Amino acid sequence: MEKVNILGVPINKISMANAVEVLNSFLNEDKFHFVATPNAEFVMIAQKDEGYMKILNSTDLNVPDGIGIVFASKVFKEPIKERVAGFDLMIEFIKSIDQKNINSPNIYLLGAAPGVAEEAKAKLEKQYPAVNIVGVHDGYFNDTDDEAIIKDINSKNTDILFVALGAPKQEKWIFKNKGKLKVKIAMGVGGSFDVLAGRVERAPLIFRKLGAEWLYRLIKEPWRYKRMAVLPKFVLKVIFTKKKVML
């Protein structure tokens, strides 16, 4: 798969349909695969966190989650066709599994506040009855709980582990424990469980198509302005980096 380097973070030049195909191919391989969904915030965190940069350079797949990533790819003259949002990829992947309706892989949901993963599980099982969600655990745990959680994940013969701890925590947790996890795919999915459970409202389709989901979230949750300020900083860094390369 072709990649574009966005400020040190390799991003796969991949469409949603292709990404779903890749995830399904991972299920046919008897080994661990690490999937991340970098957006502008991920990339900016990695500029200051060398360990996180190393992690994002060690994944098996980095999909372009965020209009900022798509914008940057065009600035660097290596355009990515479309944004592949982590939430949408998770749902499209689950949908593809449900449609096969045979030999469904085992899925485990890890993360979010107590009770949220259970609600997300119920919603997914109602909408996609052929999918096997074998376990859930909330995200309110510390390092001393890792062993018990990993034991539970492995004991349920989990094939797909969705980790909703937010960036960079979810990627760091997966990276730290990848040698112990007996899963085929571990993917960070941010606040996806909250959306599935109905705790957080997804931006309307028009905002998502225009790449303005961040604007909708800012309007709905103005207290998030500090996090949203990352996007203009990212854009400026991309432009200045491009100018330096041209000099």
Q: How do 9-12 and 3-6 pair as beta strands?
A: antiparallel
Contact (Cβ atoms closer than 8 angstroms) between residue 4 and residue 13: yes
Our count of domains for the chain comes to: 1
- What residues does 97 pair with on adjacent strands? none
Whether this model's pTM surpasses 0.95: no
Q: How high is the pLDDT of residue 220?
A: 65
> Who contacts 201 (Cβ-Cβ below 8 Å, separation ≥6)?
195, 220
Q: How high is the pLDDT of residue 224?
A: 58
Q: Residue 88: pLDDT above 50?
A: yes
Residue 9 burial (CB count, 10 A):
24
> Who contacts 58 (Cβ-Cβ below 8 Å, separation ≥6)?
34, 175
- Amino acid making up residue 24: N
> Who contacts 29 (Cβ-Cβ below 8 Å, separation ≥6)?
184
Q: State residue 109 phi and psi, 5-degree precision.
A: -110, 120
> Who contacts 243 (Cβ-Cβ below 8 Å, separation ≥6)?
none
What digits encode the pLDDT tens for the residues 154-172? 999 999 999 999 999 999 9
Q: Residue 210: pLDDT above 70?
A: no
Higher pLDDT, 213 or 197: 197
Residue 55 burial (CB count, 10 A):
21
Q: Residue 226: pLDDT above 70?
A: no
Distance CA 219, CA 225 (A): 9
**Which of 8, 7, 14, 51 is CA-nearest to residue 35?**
14
As a whole-number percent, the residues of the chain with pLDDT over 90 amount to: 81
Helix (H, G, I), strand (E, B) or coil at 35: strand
Q: How high is the pLDDT of residue 247?
A: 46
Q: What is the CA radius of gyration of the chain?
A: 18
Distance CA 241, CA 237 (A): 6
Range of the domain at 88: 3-246
Q: Which of 23-32, 42-51, 115-124, 238-247 has the lowest mean pLDDT?
A: 238-247
- Residue 204: which region, alpha, beta or left (left: phi > 0; alpha: psi -120 to 50)? beta
Q: Residue 25: pLDDT above 90?
A: yes
Q: How high is the pLDDT of residue 243?
A: 74
